[in-house]
């Protein structure tokens, strides 16, 4: 992945945003913007040019899954690599995310190496 690729991280929990930002920094990825819910993220995506979205699943009022569906339904955004982060490892959640077109999936807790591997996998296809 190009280290200058703009990345949007989405989580309604500020501490998690900081953790993800720090993990990305460990990977020398510093062109990072944040959104604290799906609606804000969608607005930023439609008005920006992001090469990767890393989003939490559990947010209100728009969940990460809803955001993913909106991204995939948008002609301009549909090919944007999208990594979903969740504390839930339920099979039905993974299946729902895959059906909605998620690029990859990370279950909390995770570290920089896991994040690097997942990003590497999705950016190969970007």
- Distance, in Å, from the CA atom of 53 to the CA atom of 7, rounded to the nearest integer, reads 6
Per-residue pLDDT for the chain (126 aa), expressed as one digit of tens each? 788 999 999 999 999 999 999 999 999 999 999 999 999 999 999 999 999 999 999 998 999 999 999 999 999 999 999 999 998 878 898 899 999 999 999 999 999 999 999 999 999 765
Angle, alpha carbons 37-43-49 (nearest 5°): 115
What are the residues whose beta carbons fall under 8 Å from the beta carbon of 68, sequence distance 6 or more? Answer: 55, 82, 84, 97, 100, 101, 102
Predicted pLDDT of residue 2: 85
Predicted pLDDT of residue 126: 57
């Amino acid at each position: 992945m190009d280290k200058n690729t703009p990345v949007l991280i989405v989580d309604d929990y500020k501490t998690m945003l900081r953790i993800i930002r720090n993990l990305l920094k460990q990977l020398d990825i510093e062109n990072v913007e944040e959104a604290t819910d799906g609606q804000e993220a969608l607005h930023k995506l439609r008005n920006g040019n992001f090469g990767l979205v890393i989003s939490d699943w559990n947010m209100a009022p728009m969940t990460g899954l809803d955001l993913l569906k909106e991204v995939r339904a948008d002609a301009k955004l549909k090919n944007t690599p999208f990594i979903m982060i969740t504390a839930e490892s339920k099979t039905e959640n993974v299946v729902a995310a895959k059906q909605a077109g998620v690029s990859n999936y990370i279950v909390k807790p995770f570290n920089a190496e896991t994040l690097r591997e997942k990003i590497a996998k999705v950016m190969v296809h970007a």
